[in-house]
Amino acid sequence: MREKIEQLLAEVEQLAAKKEQEIEEIRVRLLGKKGTITQLFDEFRDVLPEQKRELGQVLNTLKVAATKKIDELRTILDESMDADEPQYDLTKPGDRLDLGGRHPISVTKAEILSIFNKYGYDLAEGPEIEDDWHVFGALNFPPEHPARDMQDTFFITEGENPVLLRTHTSSAQVRAMETMKLPIRIVCPGRVFRNEAISARAHCIFHQVEGLYIDKNVSFADLKQAVLLFAREMFGEQAQIRLRPSYFPFTEPSAEVDVSCNICGGKGCNICKGTGWLEIMGCGMVDPNVLEANGIDSKVYTGFAFGMGVERIAMLKWQVKDLRHYFENDIRFLREFDTVV
Ligand code: PHE
């Protein structure tokens, strides 16, 4: 028996195989139910007790060596297969394509722009990094206006006409007045920056869409009509608006626009804090000082302007209570808008 074991051990060392089938045959031949090694274990039962200890050890060594060799042959075969030709399982279902969706702010911005586009407004854009003249000076901001303070605006340089991050997209309207021929009818979308503490209702970065219309005989009634049309397209046919007197350096008169609450229909709920109205934008007639500062004859031309925050409109449309969700880009929040694409 010992001889047989020694012989098998030598044989195991020499084993080689090129196919999975060959390896399986070796396994059956040696370790299968009727395999040579299995049979040796059967015979081992009849071995004399004094020989058991020694023979048992070699027999075990043989079994371990055979198992190890078979594993080795499998690994070698797997590796060579991986290298030569990749093994494709053509019956496997394919991976799902994760397409993603558009960001709710992009969706809202696109909707606002498409409404104004329909009414003949062109798109005008400007840089996010601006100078004092385009953000404040040309827009009739007095030199001591608080917006010109470090507390409210991110400055990049100091001096006469400092470089800064625009605080509103009205700067793009100034650039349009400089370059475009009259009449002008434009909407300016874009990112704006204000030095504010981040909270559920405020962020230091947000998005605006501002509009400007300059022509002969543009009146406050035209402004009101434009805002009403927008509100109805955005919030539904039943939407009503109301204007409250307000103040902006670049418009006179100025107003704040409220839209009737789209949740309770004006009866009063917790979204509109019981008032039935939601504030959506600022607007007004372009101040003659602004027209003149931009080389437009204020005796011949008049105009109106309006500006709204995209986050605010999106919040009202989808009842998102915390503005920060828009910037955190938590995939669970974004997925809620997948259908909006
Ligand atoms: N520029 C103003 C703002 O950022 C919005 C506005 C635009 C108000 C045009 C009136 C007219 O708050």
- The rounded Å distance from CA 286 to ligand 1 centre is 11
Q: pTM here?
A: 0.72
Mutate to test the pocket of ligand 1, among 248, 302, 312 (most ligand atoms within 8 A of CB): 248
Residue 305's identity, in one-letter code, is: A
- The CB density around residue 329, as the number of other CB atoms within 10 Å, is 9
At residue 341, the pLDDT reads: 46
Q: CB within 6 Å of ligand 1 — which residues? A: 168, 170, 210, 248, 251, 282-284, 305-307
Going from N- to C-terminal start, the domains of the chain cover: 2-84, 104-337
Residues 156-180 pLDDT 10s? 999 889 999 999 999 999 999 999 9
Nearest residue to 304 via CA among 217, 198, 232: 217
Mean pLDDT of the chain: 91
At residue 14, the pLDDT reads: 87
Task: Report the C-alpha gap between 170 and 250 in whole angstroms.
Answer: 9
Task: Report the C-alpha gap between 104 and 113 in whole angstroms.
Answer: 14
* Residue whose CA lies nearest to ligand 1 atom number 2: 307
Q: Which two tokens stand for residue 215?
A: 């022509």
Phi, psi of 24 (to 5 degrees): -65, -40
* Residue whose CA lies nearest to ligand 1 atom number 5: 307
- The rounded Å distance from CA 327 to ligand 1 centre is 22
- The rounded Å distance from CA 168 to ligand 1 centre is 7
Residue 122's identity, in one-letter code, is: D
Going by the DSSP 8-state scheme, the letter that residue 1 receives in this structure is: -
Mutate to test the pocket of ligand 1, among 116, 152, 169, 170 (most ligand atoms within 8 A of CB): 170
Task: Report the C-alpha gap between 275 and 242 in whole angstroms.
Answer: 12
**Cis geometry, peptide bond prior to residue 93 (ω within 30 degrees of 0):** no
At residue 139, the pLDDT reads: 96
Indicate the Cα dihedral angle 308, 211, 170, 109, nearest 10°: 50
Q: Which fold is adopted by the domain 104-337?
A: BirA Bifunctional Protein; domain 2 (3.30.930)
Whether residue 154 contacts residue 168, with contact meaning beta carbons closer than 8 Å, is answered with: no
Q: Which two tokens stand for residue 100?
A: 């993603």
Nearest residue to 126 via CA among 166, 160, 161: 166
pLDDT in tens, the chain (341 residues): 888 888 888 888 888 888 888 889 999 998 999 998 999 888 888 888 888 888 888 889 989 999 999 999 888 888 777 666 667 888 989 888 877 788 999 999 999 999 999 999 999 999 999 999 999 999 999 988 888 887 899 999 998 899 999 999 999 999 999 999 999 999 999 999 999 999 888 899 999 999 999 999 999 999 999 999 999 999 999 999 999 999 999 999 999 999 998 888 888 888 788 999 999 999 999 999 999 999 999 999 999 999 999 999 998 888 888 889 999 989 889 888 865 44
